[in-house]
A and B are shown apart, each in its own frame.
Chain A
Amino acid sequence: MNRLLIFLLMVALMVGCGDGKKPKDVADNQEVAVESQNEEKVAFPTYDFEGLEPLLHKEDDQTYIINFWATWCKPCLEELPHFERIREEQKNNNVKVILVSLDMPHMWKSRLEPYVKNKRIQSEVVILDDPKQNEWIPKVDEEWGGGIPATLIYNKEKRQFFEKGFTYEELNEALSKFIK
């Protein structure tokens, strides 16, 4: 039953995105996604911080690049292509990019969805919808003041947080400390 649901959802997502991407990329978080897909039919999984937190603490063999961004944040949009490029270059290197959107609910349909579609963004996009920012910001990183863009890179051995925008070279260099 569960499998059928996941399969149906995957099909729905693929049709929805219309890009025919390999299902593997979106498969990882489908079970969580099933719960949150029932609201307003946004094309991306929507989490409160409790729901997002497991994505920040996976203990598998992958290195995760978690980027916090929003469509209203200009420097975030400027660095997005670098994350896309790294995702493409490093996809066989056990690197996974997750773009955590902090767009406000009224922007999900009007701005976020069109942006991701028009820019043909291939990285996984999830929405963090949790207004209790003073509680969850320090849980991502104690040093984070709340500015975006901000990026967390981690694997089961180490983690590093950056409250800044990246150039392609800087991102590559930061990542190189995580992959062997």
Chain B
Amino acid sequence: MKTKRIFGFFALLLIFGASFAMGISAAKDHIVDDGYGIGDVAADFSLKNVDGKMVSLSDYANAKGFLVIFTCNTCPYAKAYEDRIIALDKKYKSKGVPVIAINPNTKSGDGFAEMQERAKEKGFTYPYLHDEGQKVYPQYGATKTPHVFLLEKTQTGNVVRYIGAIDDNYQDASQVDEKFVENAVDALLAGKEINPNTTKAIGCGIK
């Protein structure tokens, strides 16, 4: 199916005689990632929170940005990061960059009732949204949990500034050398360049 999509994309490119065919040929052997890249404007969404209310980015009139984090109940990596996600929200909500968590999974263990339960148990301080119909995560290009997208609110929309992992040690928060997300948000708030703006980590595929 992916191949079909790649070919379809290729055909489109040919039809339009686009000039960026080079980039595509490089990606031909790999699965084309349809999601956002750094600098793209992320679409808003309206998803149901564990408290039953709908949440959109546009609800946050005073936010400077958002930490949109795709995470879930069931993945061992996501669980290992739960406390650190709560800490991120505590640290940056007051600075105008709240955490918005989205659960993209639909399989058992990640149902809405189970999400409500987990949010209560852990005392999530941020919205934990159910990606009903799994429409939002493919738009973003989230491939696994946890997967972080840092957005900056600008005149033209919410611009993607960082994509990747929370930090460089999933096993042990005390052994972390580089706090990727914190560094990124700090740089964003200080108007500095974010470096690195993409990082990689093992995660659970979205089901």
Q: A163, B31: Cβ atoms under 8 Å?
A: yes
B2 → chain A closest CB, angstroms: 8
A21-B204 Cα distance, complex, nearest whole Å: 33
A-B contact count (CB 8 A): 65
Q: A119-154 toward B: CB 8 Å interface, digit per residue (1/0)?
A: 000000000000111110110000111111000000
**The residue from B164, B168, B205 contacting A132, defined by CB atoms under 8 A apart:** B168
Q: Find chain B residues with CB under 8 A from A51 CB.
A: none
Contact of A133 with B31 at beta-carbon distance under 8 Å, contacts A72-B76, A75-B205 already known? no
Interface residue A102 (Cβ < 8 Å from any Cβ of B): yes
Q: A147, B144: Cβ atoms under 8 Å?
A: yes
**The residue from B30, B76, B168, B203 contacting A104, defined by CB atoms under 8 A apart:** B76
Contact of A137 with B200 at beta-carbon distance under 8 Å, contacts A105-B171, A132-B168, A164-B31 already known? yes
A104-B165 Cα distance, complex, nearest whole Å: 17
B7 → chain A closest CB, angstroms: 17
Interface residue A74 (Cβ < 8 Å from any Cβ of B): yes
A88-B108 Cα distance, complex, nearest whole Å: 34
B173 → chain A closest CB, angstroms: 11
Interface residue A73 (Cβ < 8 Å from any Cβ of B): yes
Q: Find chain A residues with CB under 8 A from B202 CB.
A: 102, 133, 137, 146-148
Q: B200, A133: Cβ atoms under 8 Å?
A: yes
Interface residue B169 (Cβ < 8 Å from any Cβ of A): yes
Q: B180, A146: Cβ atoms under 8 Å?
A: no
A132-B31 Cα distance, complex, nearest whole Å: 25
Q: A132, B144: Cβ atoms under 8 Å?
A: no
Q: Using a CB-CB cutoff of 8 Å, which residues 161-179 of chain A contact chain B?
A: 163-164
Q: Find chain B residues with CB under 8 A from A75 CB.
A: 205
Interface residue B62 (Cβ < 8 Å from any Cβ of A): no
**The residue from B75, B144, B171, B201 contacting A134, defined by CB atoms under 8 A apart:** B201
Q: A134, B200: Cβ atoms under 8 Å?
A: yes
A145-B202 Cα distance, complex, nearest whole Å: 8
Residue of A nearest to B172 (CB): A131
Q: B149-178 toward A: CB 8 Å interface, digit per residue (1/0)?
A: 000000000000000110011111001011
B64 → chain A closest CB, angstroms: 26
A19 → chain B closest CB, angstroms: 28
Q: Find chain A residues with CB under 8 A from B200 CB.
A: 133-134, 137-138, 144-146
11 new A-B pairs (CB below 8 Å) besides A131-B172, A133-B200, A148-B202? Answer: A72-B76, A72-B204, A73-B204, A104-B171, A131-B169, A134-B178, A134-B180, A134-B201, A145-B143, A147-B202, A163-B31
**What is the interface of chain B, defined by CB distance below 8 A to chain A?**
30-31, 33, 75-76, 80, 143-144, 164-165, 168-172, 175, 177-178, 180, 196, 199-205, 207
**Pairs across A and B, CB under 8 Å, 13 listed:** A74-B207, A132-B168, A132-B177, A133-B168, A133-B201, A134-B164, A134-B201, A137-B201, A138-B200, A143-B30, A144-B200, A146-B144, A147-B205
